[in-house]
């Protein structure tokens, strides 16, 4: 295992490497700015929307789920902030384009968070093609649609802007049991890096947000195949009890906007040490991933067994 000193050194070194100049957009004071957040009805997107509004931005709260988008918007307005709810399916290119036209035509957009995403776990041999297609449609094409619709409009505005795409720790590290999900998230890491290099000279910055294990709804609602199906309740419990708050991720995202960070591992203590290990010693990184996978598997199996046993016990008691 890495010592604490070594881990801190790795974290500091990676911070230096991922920091570049920002657009001048402050992540702290966003009064007069407009932000779009997709998948804003729950989890990380919800935390982003609330934080953006608390820092003064007008927020377009977009989600597939109308009730959730409206609930987040009501909370923002109830706290004295400014927001509008939108029902938006990011897999629908035409709908995203119409949405982009509508939000840019009002007062423009300064911050775009392509955050909507879905989860998946299961061995590749047990994953039907439809799962791959759905993951690619939401996690990859959903982001592409946001970029395709908004980049030309952001450029036409002629003012600085920042795009934050939610990728994942799984996009930085080999993750057995999550190959389709990792594929989509690695695509977003690469897309964001290349797009930042392309747009930076024109005043638009791009970041890939790479969260670790975060306490949101994603595991409960994920599609799980094969033996992972039996582990879903255990994995859900693991994320709920051991996961980091999505508020931490939202703060890291706005910090990345302020400092122009391209790759944003968060929380750093979870993601940075294994990520750097993988970059510097790929073989060790892969072995570590396999080990973590085995341990998570064992814990999820144990927790699922425990919750199944407690459900059976309550049934007996009834």
β strands within the chain, DSSP E: 34-38, 58-63, 82-87, 111-114, 120-121, 161-166, 204-211, 223-224, 263-266
85 is an interface residue for ligand NAD by CB under 6 A: no
41 is an interface residue for ligand NAD by CB under 6 A: yes
Q: 163: which strand partners? A: 112, 206
Options 27-35, 84-92, 193-201, 271-279: segment touching ligand NAD (CB under 6 A): 84-92
51 is an interface residue for ligand NAD by CB under 6 A: no
Cβ atoms of 198 and 213 within 8 Å: the answer is no
Q: Catalytic site residue 269?
A: no
115 is an interface residue for ligand NAD by CB under 6 A: yes
Tokens coding 156 = 């036409």
With CB under 6 A, what is the number of residues at the site for ligand NAD?
32
Nearest CB to ligand NAD, comparing residues 118 and 288: 118
Give the C-alpha separation, 45 to 24, whole Å: 23
- Please give the radius of gyration of the chain, using alpha carbons only, rounded to the nearest integer: 20
CA 107, chain centre distance (Å): 26
189 is an interface residue for ligand NAD by CB under 6 A: no
266 is an interface residue for ligand NAD by CB under 6 A: no
131 is an interface residue for ligand NAD by CB under 6 A: no
Site for ligand NAD in 220-259 (CB under 6 A): 221, 246
117 is an interface residue for ligand NAD by CB under 6 A: yes
Q: What's the distance, Cα to Cα, between the start and end of the chain in Å?
A: 47
Instruction: List the one residue out of 245, 232, 158 whose CA is nearest residue 202.
Output: 158
Q: Which residues bind ligand NAD (CB under 6 A)?
A: 38-39, 41-45, 63-65, 68, 88-91, 115-118, 138, 142, 166, 168-169, 211, 213-214, 216-218, 221, 246
Q: Could you list the active site residues?
A: 181
């Amino acid at each position: 295992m890495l010592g604490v000193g070594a881990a801190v050194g790795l974290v500091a070194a990676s911070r230096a490497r991922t920091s570049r100049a920002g657009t001048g957009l402050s992540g702290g004071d966003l009064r007069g700015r407009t932000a779009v957040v997709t998948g804003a009805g729950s989890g990380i997107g919800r935390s982003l929307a609330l934080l953006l509004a608390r820092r003064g931005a007008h927020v377009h709260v977009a989600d597939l789920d109308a009730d959730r988008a409206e609930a987040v918007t009501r909370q923002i307005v109830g706290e004295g902030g400014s927001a509008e709810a939108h029902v938006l399916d990011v897999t629908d290119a035409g709908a995203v384009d119409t949405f982009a036209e509508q939000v840019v035509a009002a007062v423009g957009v300064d911050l775009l968070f392509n955050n909507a995403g879905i989860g998946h776990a299961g061995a590749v041999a047990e994953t039907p093609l439809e799962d791959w297609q759905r993951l690619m449609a939401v996690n990859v094409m959903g982001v592409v649609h946001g970029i395709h619709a908004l980049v030309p409009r952001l450029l036409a505005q002629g003012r600085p802007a920042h795009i934050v795409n939610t990728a994942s720790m799984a996009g930085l590290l080999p993750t057995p049991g999550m190959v389709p999900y990792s594929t989509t998230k690695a695509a977003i890491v690469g897309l964001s890096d290349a797009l930042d290099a392309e747009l930076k000279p024109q005043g638009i910055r791009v970041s890939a947000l790479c969260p670790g294990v975060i306490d949101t709804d994603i595991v409960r609602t994920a599609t799980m195949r094969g033996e992972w199906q039996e582990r879903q309740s255990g994995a859900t419990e693991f994320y709920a009890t051991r996961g980091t708050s999505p508020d931490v991720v939202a703060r890291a995202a706005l910090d990345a906007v302020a400092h122009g960070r391209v790759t944003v591992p968060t929380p750093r203590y979870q993601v940075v040490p294994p990520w750097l290990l993988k970059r510097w010693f790929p073989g060790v990184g892969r072995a570590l991933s396999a080990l973590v996978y085995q341990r998570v598997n064992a814990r999820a199996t144990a927790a699922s067994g425990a919750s199944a046993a407690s459900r059976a016990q309550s049934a007996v008691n009834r």
